[in-house]
A and B are shown apart, each in its own frame.
Chain A
Amino acid sequence: MINTMECAVDAQSLISISLRKIHNSRTQRGGIKLHKNLLVSYVLRNARQVYMNEKYAEIYRMQQYEEVMTVCNEIQELNPLDLVEDCEEQTADCCGSANESASLCGALLPVSHQAPSVQHLQPSSACSVPLALQSEEVCKAPEPSFYRSCCAEAYPVSNCDFSPVNSMHCNKTTVLDLDTHVVTTVENGYLHQDCCASLQQCCQGAQSPAKKRKLDFGYYVSEIEEVPDFTPCKRAKFEDSSYASTEPLDTSNISNLISIFGSGFSGLVSRQADLEQALNGQFCSKQALASLGAWTRAIVAF
C-alpha cells in the first residue's frame, strides 16, 4: 500500500534506495536481473544529476554570498556609504563575467574557460566546491555551475580529459563475460563518455564536512593514498570523512552497471543507521573500506 504521504522525492534518498536494490539483487534467486538493474541505474543517474545540480547551485549561492560579503567588507573599509550599491554591482559582475580580478572572481571561473594557476588565487575562507566526477550531461549544463577548487592544484581540464591523478583514482573491476567466459579487468569510468573533471576535496568551513563531502565511494581507497597532494583543509576533511556520514555518498561514476557493481558499495550509507547495521556493518567501518581488495575486484557476471 502506498502511504498517503508521498515519499519525499529526494535525490539522496533515491540514490540510497537504488543502491540498496542493486545490492539486494546480487543475492536474489535466479541471478542478477539485467533489465531491472539497468533501470535502477537510470534512476541512480537521474538522481545524481539532480543532486549535483542542487549542490552546485547551493554552493554557487554560498560562494556568491561570501564573495559579496568580502567585497562589501573591503568597500566598507574604504567608504561605508557605498556599501549596498557596490556590493550589488560586484555580485552581478562576479556572476556574469569570467576574467575579473583574480582575487575575487578567479575562484568562480567556470571549468571550461581556463586553468588559472593556484598562486594567483588566495584561498578564500570557504574553499570552493570540489569537482566530483560528472557525466557528460552535467558538464554540458548551460549555467556555469562548475567551479574549480581554489585550493587545488591546477589541472588541465577539458570536457573529457583526465589528469594523471585521476587515472590513479580509477577503480578496477574484474568482469566475467558470461558468453565468452573471458575475464577482463576494466578501468572504471574514465575511459569512456564520462566527463573527467578532476576529483577534488573541499573544505566547507561553514557547512558540516560530512554533508558537503563529495567523495566518490569507488575511489575511496586510492584517495586515502593521495592525501599528501591536498592542502591541510582537505586533509582534515579526510579525517572527517572516515566517520559515518548521515548522507549517502555521491555516486559519481554510476554511468553503467559494471562500475556500480564493481565499486563494492563502500559508500552505501543510508540515513537509517540501524538498517546499515542489519545489512552489513562493514559499510561504515573505515578498516573494512581500507581492506577493499575484495570489493574493488568484484567479479561482475554480465
Chain B
Amino acid sequence: MDEEIDTRKINNSFLRDHNYATEVQPVQTLDYIDSIKAFFFSDNGQLRSFTQPEPPLMRRQEAFNRTADIISTVEFNSTGELLATGDKGGRVVVFQREQESKNQPHRRGEYNVYSTFQSHEPEFDYLKSLEIEEKINKIRWLPQQNAAYFLLSTNDKTVKLWKISERDKRPEGYNLKDEEGRIRDPTTITALRILLDHKTVKLWKISERDKRPEGYNLKDEEGRIRDPTTITALRVPVLRPMDLMVEATPRRIFSNAHTYHINSISVNSDYETYMSTDDLRINLWNLEITNRSFNIVDIKPANMEELTEVITAAEFHPNQCNTFVYSSSKGSIRLCDMRTSALCDNHSKLFEEPEDPSNRSFFSEIISSISDVKFSHSGRYLMTRDYLTVKVWDINMESKPLETYQVHDYLRSKLCSLYENDCIFDKFECVWNGTDSVLMTGSYNNFFRMFDRNTKRDVTLEASRENSKPRAILKPRKVCVGGKRRKDEISVDSLDFSKKILHTAWHPNENIIAVAATNNLYIFQDKVN
C-alpha cells in the first residue's frame, strides 16, 4: 500500500492575510464543541421536551471565535456511532457515541470527542500562483469492515483517506530495543529477528569457542551484553493494557486530479470506488489506487467563453453502483448511468423545472443554483436545495419536482441586500432522516427547518445557547413577514445573517441530529421517557 505524502508545504504565516487567523495551532478541540441535548419530532408528530446540560467549556467559546474554527462539514458514519466534523482550518474532529449504561440512563448515548487530527494544510500551487485553502469541504465515511474506521476528507484540490484506529495495548518486554539500546518504534516490530547475516536468516549452533556469537538477543534491555551461556530462550514482548489512544493516519492521498475546486465526494455502494466532483468535472477513483482516476463527466466547453453552468454537487445512488446524479448551477439535475458509456456527459435523465416567469428578477440565476443534492435512503427520491426552497423529486418523473418546500421565502424581497453582503451565495445543505419522512435544512439567525413529508407540517428551530434552558423544550420559532409582529416572532429585518446554518446531519437510524452553527456544533436527540 503506497502512502504518498504531499511535500508541498508552505510556511503558514507567509501567506496569511492579517484578516485571517495567523496560525493554525493544534487547538483544543472542545473549544468549539457545544453539546446540547434537545428534542424535536417524536414518532407521533409531537414535539417533545429538551434537556440541556451546561458543560463548563461553553464559557470559553466566546474567547475563541477564529475563522479557522468555522465548521465546514458534518457527517455521521453509516451506523451513527461516529460523527465527524471538518473546519476551515483543515482539522477533523471525530465524536463517538457513548455506550449506553444502566448507571446513567439520562445520559443516553452522548457524543464525546474521539479523535482530532489535522487533515489538510494550506498549500501553494507554484505553477498557477494559487493558494489552496485547507478548508475541509466534505467528509464521507467508508463502511466499516474491521476494527478501524476509514473516512475520506477533501479540500479544494486533494482527497485523503484516513484510518482511525484504537490502541489500547502496549507491548512490553523484550525485543523492543535495538542493539544500541534505543527503543524501537513498536509499529516497525514486525518480526523477531534471529541471527541475521545480510538478508538471510541463519540458525547457528553455538557450541565452539572459536566462533563468536553476533546478532540480536545478546544484549539485555539496557544494552549490556548478556552472558551467552544464559541465553536459553528468546523472549518476546508482552502486551499490556494502556489508556486508550486513538490515532489517525493518512492511508491514501488522491491529488492532482482536479483543476477546479472540489465541491463533493461520494463513496459508491460497491465500497471500492468513489467519485470526486469539481466545478466542471467528475472523476472516479478506486480507493486503493491514488495515481490514476477516470474522468466520467466533463462539462467544460471547448471555449471557456461559452461557459454557462457548473457542477455544484454529485452523489452516487445508495444501492445501484452504476448510477449517480449531479446538480448544476442552472437548477437542473442529471442522472447518469455509468454502464452506458465511459464518459457520462450525456445524461440518462434530466430533472428540471421550468422557471416561473413571474418571479424573474436580477437574481433568478443565483437563487435557482442548486447547492446540495441527496438521494433518499431508499434511492427512490432526490432532494435538492436551492437558495429559497427544498425540492423532492421522484426519480421516475423528470418534468417537475414531487414536492417543493419554502425554507425562507420572506427573503425573496431582500435578494438585493443579500447579494450585496454575499449571503445569496451561501450554500445550504439538506438531509433526509433515516426513514425518508422528514427533511432538514438550515437557514439564517441560527435557524434550521424541518419538513415532515407525510403530515406536511414544518417547524423552525433555533440552535443557540441563549434560548435553550436545561431540560427545556426547544421552542419552535417563527419569522414574521409583515404587519403586526406577535410576541415571540422575529421580524425579517432582525435576522442575523452572519449566523447561518449551512451544514447539518441526521443519524442514519435514530432521531439524533447534528447542527453546525458557525463554530459551534449542536447535537440534539430524542428524549428517553
Interface residues of chain A, those whose CB is within 8 Å of chain B, are 1-4, 6-7, 9, 11, 14, 17, 21, 29-31, 33-36, 38-39, 42-43, 46-47, 50, 175, 177-179, 181, 186, 192, 255-259, 301-302
Q: Which B residue sits closest to A301, measured CB to CB?
A: B128
Partner of B425, one of A1, A34, A36, A181: A36
| Interface status of B355 (Cβ within 8 A of chain A) | no
Tell me if B305 and A256 are in contact (CB < 8 A): yes
Interface of B is mostly: loop
Whether the Cβ atoms of A35 and B305 lie closer than 8 Å is no
Q: Give the CA-CA distance A36 to B279 in the complex, in Å.
A: 11
**Interface residue? B418 (CB, 8 A):** yes
B497 at the interface (CB under 8 A from A): yes
Chain B residues near A177: list those with CB within 8 A: 304
Question: Which of B303, B304, B363 has the most chain A CB atoms closer than 10 A to its own CB?
Answer: B304
Does the CB pair B306–A192 fall under 8 Å?
yes
Docked Cα-Cα span, A255 to B307, in Å, equals 10
A42 pairs with B20, CB closer than 8 A: no
Q: List 16 A-B contacts (CB under 8 A).
A: A2-B495, A17-B419, A29-B17, A30-B130, A30-B135, A31-B128, A34-B279, A38-B307, A39-B366, A43-B365, A43-B419, A177-B304, A178-B128, A181-B127, A257-B307, A301-B128
Question: Does B268 make an interface contact (CB < 8 A)?
Answer: no
Kindly list chain A residues whose C-beta atoms are within 8 Å of the C-beta of B422: 21
Name which residue of chain A comes closest to B20, CB basis. A29
Residues of chain B contacted by A178 (CB below 8 angstroms): 128, 259-260
Bound: A256/B308 CA distance, A: 8
Q: Which residues of A contact B369 (CB under 8 A)?
A: 35, 39
B416 on the A face (CB < 8 A): yes
Q: Mark B302-314, 1 if CB is under 8 A from A, else 0.
A: 0111111110100
- A9 B493 Cβ-Cβ under 8 A: no
Nearest CB on B from A182, distance (A): 11
Contact with A along B482-494 (1 / 0, CB 8 A): 0000000000111
Q: How far is the CA of A74 from the CA of B453 in the complex (A)?
A: 73
Contact B156 A34 (CB under 8 A): no
Known: A6-B414, A29-B133, A39-B365. A34 touches B128 (CB 8 A): no
Contacts of A35 in B (CB 8 A): 261, 279, 310, 312, 329, 369
Do A179 and B365 touch (CB < 8 A)? no
B131 contacts chain A at the CB level, 8 A cutoff: yes
Please measure, in the bound complex, the distance between the C-alpha atom of A125 and the C-alpha atom of B127, giving whole angstroms. Answer: 58
In the complex, the chain B residue whose C-beta lies closest to that of A31 is B130
B494 to chain A: closest residue by CB: A1
Query: How far apart are A248's CB and chain B's nearest CB, in angstroms?
Result: 15
Cα A36 to Cα B426 in complex, Å, equals 10
A42 nearest in chain B by CB position: B365
Give CA–CA (A75, B128) in the complex, Å: 70
Known pairs A1-B497, A31-B128, A34-B280 / 10 extra A-B pairs, C-beta < 8 Å: A21-B422, A30-B130, A30-B131, A30-B135, A39-B369, A39-B425, A43-B362, A178-B128, A178-B259, A259-B305
Question: How many angstroms from the CA of A29 to the CA of B259 in the assembled complex?
Answer: 16
- Is there contact, CB below 8 Å, between A2 and B418? yes
In the complex, residue of chain B having the shortest beta-carbon distance to the beta carbon of A299: B129
The answer to whether A29 touches B305 (Cβ under 8 A) is: no
A2 to B498, alpha carbons, bound, how many Å? 11
Q: Is the CB of A38 within 8 A of B420?
A: no
B413 within 8 A of A: yes
| Pairs A-B, 7 closest by C-beta atoms | A42-B365, A30-B133, A31-B130, A256-B305, A2-B417, A46-B362, A34-B279
Contact residues, B472-529 vs A (CB, 8 A): 492-497
- Which residues from B are CB-within-8-Å of A9? 362, 416
Query: Which residues from chain B contact A36 at a C-beta distance below 8 Å?
Result: 425
Q: Which of A39, A179, A258, A301 has the most CB of B within 10 A?
A: A39
Given contacts A38-B329, A258-B305, contact A30 B261 (CB under 8 A): yes
CB pair A29 B131 closer than 8 Å? yes
A19-B109 Cα distance, complex, nearest whole Å: 51
Min CB–CB distance B2 → chain A (angstroms): 26
Residue of A nearest to B134 (CB): A30
Given contacts A33-B261, A34-B279, contact A6 B416 (CB under 8 A): yes
In the complex, the answer to whether B416 meets A179 with C-beta atoms within 8 Å is: no
Q: Which residue of A lies closest to B311 (CB)?
A: A35
- C-beta contact mask, B126-152 vs A, less than 8 Å → 1, else 0? 011011110100000000000000000
Asked if B349 is at the interface (CB within 8 A of a chain A CB), the reply is no
* Chain A CB within 8 A of B408 CB: no
Q: Which A residues lie within 8 Å of B417 (CB)?
A: 2-3, 6-7
Q: Tell me the smallest distance from the CB of B122 to a CB of chain A, in Å.
A: 9
Please, how many angstroms separate the alpha-carbon atoms of A11 and B135 in the complex? 35
Q: What is the CA–CA distance of A181 and B259 in the complex, to the nearest angstrom?
A: 11
Chain B positions 349-383 with a Cβ under 8 Å from a chain A Cβ: 361-366, 369
Min distance, Cβ B496 to any Cβ of chain A, angstroms: 7
A residues in contact with B66, CB < 8 Å: none
In chain B, residues 287-309, which have Cβ atoms closer than 8 Å to a Cβ of chain A? 300, 303-309
Contact partners of B310 in chain A: CB under 8 A: 34-35, 38
Chain A neighbourhood of B156, CB < 8 A:
30-31
B419→A1 contact, CB < 8 A:
no
